[in-house]
Amino acid sequence: MADSRIPDPLLRALLDEAGWSGAELARHAAAVAAEQGSPQTFDRKTVSFWLAGRRPRPPVPAIVAEAFSRALGRRVTVADTGLARDASSPRPPAARSGTSPHAGPSDPAAALLGLGRSQRGGPTDAAYRLDLLDVPTWTEAASGRTAPVVPADHTEIVTEPQVETIEQMVRLFLDNDGAFGGGYARGPLAAYLTHDVAPLLRASAPPALRLRMLRAATRLAYLCAYMCFDDEQHALAQRYHRTALDLAVEAADPAGYAVVLRGMSVQARSLGHHHEALVLAENAAATGQRKATPARHAFLLGQVAVAAAAEADRSTALSALSAAERLLERSTSRSTPYQVRPSQTTAGSGDVVGGYHPAALSHQEAAVRAELGDLQGAIAALKTSLRHRPSDERRSRAVTTARLAELQLRTGHLDQAVHTWDAFLDDYPRLSSGRVTSALRTMKAQLRPHSDNAGARHLLARAVEF
């Protein structure tokens, strides 16, 4: 390893400003690393090496910068830490583009190209950043909208079949993600966005066709973000979310903007950033309610309920959940299972993403009840969700089943949990999903203390093959 051995006064100054010891920096940096899906082992000695001039490989410098940003309440860059391996290197396109609607003209094509390179090269050299959760309302974003980036390729003209292809790819990737998890298709989708969609964003197109293309591209970027989230690649997911927001603004698409905000809220809540999750969810609901169908409005309000419950705002959580239930009842009956995926309808690409049905509502109801301490109510809601879940939504079924087993064990019903986890393992081999893999690790950890139980021993033995 070719490390500089020049002592790092910038890092020392940040430690002094934060009032941290080397061990405290190591602990906070490890927490940020674990959060974004790239766990690292740091200790006091590691920090001593950095102070002496050793510069760690990416994404560690970005992780350290984010740890200081959270502690100091201001943006700390990698350059500010003195840990950059090559301070003269330009920032990658993914860092310049698709990061902030506040920052003036955006270039989503450049962002997609940079993010595609991050996907090919392994984990991104960035970190999941709390400051990127500060997102303008739709009114603010739309009022600050500048003229789109002038297409660089005046020789290529976007055609109707090309846009139809992009719209159909939304359906294809949506179905693949639901059936097999984000791990299988996030690489191919990133490649499609990089090599097929990004060049078209820089080509000439009639205005109406260009808007259709941008709206389909918004959905694809959002789907790629969701696949990265599902595979626990949180920094990449956040960058795709921000690029999707830029695309939605350029497309004059508040519905797409609302769906992306909701996705950002789901991710933030899963990582423990409950206040930010609630702000994002309420922003999404306010953006999407004007022209939303009842099902789409319910889709947005359901996340408000979950985020509010995580923030211990019981009144808002129950009010939003009740409103979501009423809205969904206006669009579909809860008395029969919902058997048709949104992508199997004749709706356009703008409608197939963000589909909502009774199984999804019941899953959110379970999350609300669990957050508010009603574990039996959460268990009942998860069972309802599984009864209504479309058969091809394998990943969601696995996540729901694993959560149900965890709550059953938590309430003292070991035999029921074993039976439920057995069903979870039936789905597991067909999935590539970081969330599902984490659920498997949780199952093993929670069953080991019960290894004297025959059912638990059977599950642990069965899990060895995975």
Please report, in tens digits, the pLDDT of each residue of the chain (466 residues total).
Answer: 444 468 899 999 999 999 999 999 999 999 999 888 778 899 999 999 999 999 999 999 999 999 999 999 999 999 999 999 865 443 443 434 444 444 445 799 999 999 987 765 444 578 999 999 999 999 999 987 765 555 555 678 999 999 999 999 999 999 999 999 999 999 999 999 999 999 999 999 999 999 999 999 999 999 999 999 999 999 999 999 999 999 999 999 999 999 999 999 999 999 999 999 999 999 999 999 877 889 999 999 999 999 999 999 999 999 999 999 999 998 865 444 444 455 555 445 556 787 899 999 999 999 999 999 999 999 999 999 999 999 999 999 999 999 999 999 999 999 999 999 999 999 999 999 999 999 999 999 999 999 999 999 999 999 998 9
Nearest Cα residue to 241 out of 217, 269, 260, 227:
260
pTM of the full predicted structure?
0.91
Please check whether residue 98 is in contact with residue 216, taking contact to mean a CB–CB distance below 8 angstroms.
no
Q: Residue written as tokens 């260009």?
A: 210
Q: Which residues contact 32 (CB under 8 A, 6 or more apart)?
A: 63, 66, 67, 70, 127, 128
Would you call 231 helix, strand, or coil by DSSP?
A: coil
Q: Is 108 helix (H, G, I), strand (E, B) or coil?
A: helix
Helix (H) / strand (E) element for 325: namely: helix 314-331
CA 448 – CA 461 distance, rounded (Å) = 11
Q: How far is CA 266 from CA 47, 113, 117, in A?
A: 33, 25, 25
- What is the secondary structure of 404-452 as a DSSP string? HHHHHHHTT-HHHHHHHHHHHHHHGGG---HHHHHHHHHHHHHHGGGTT
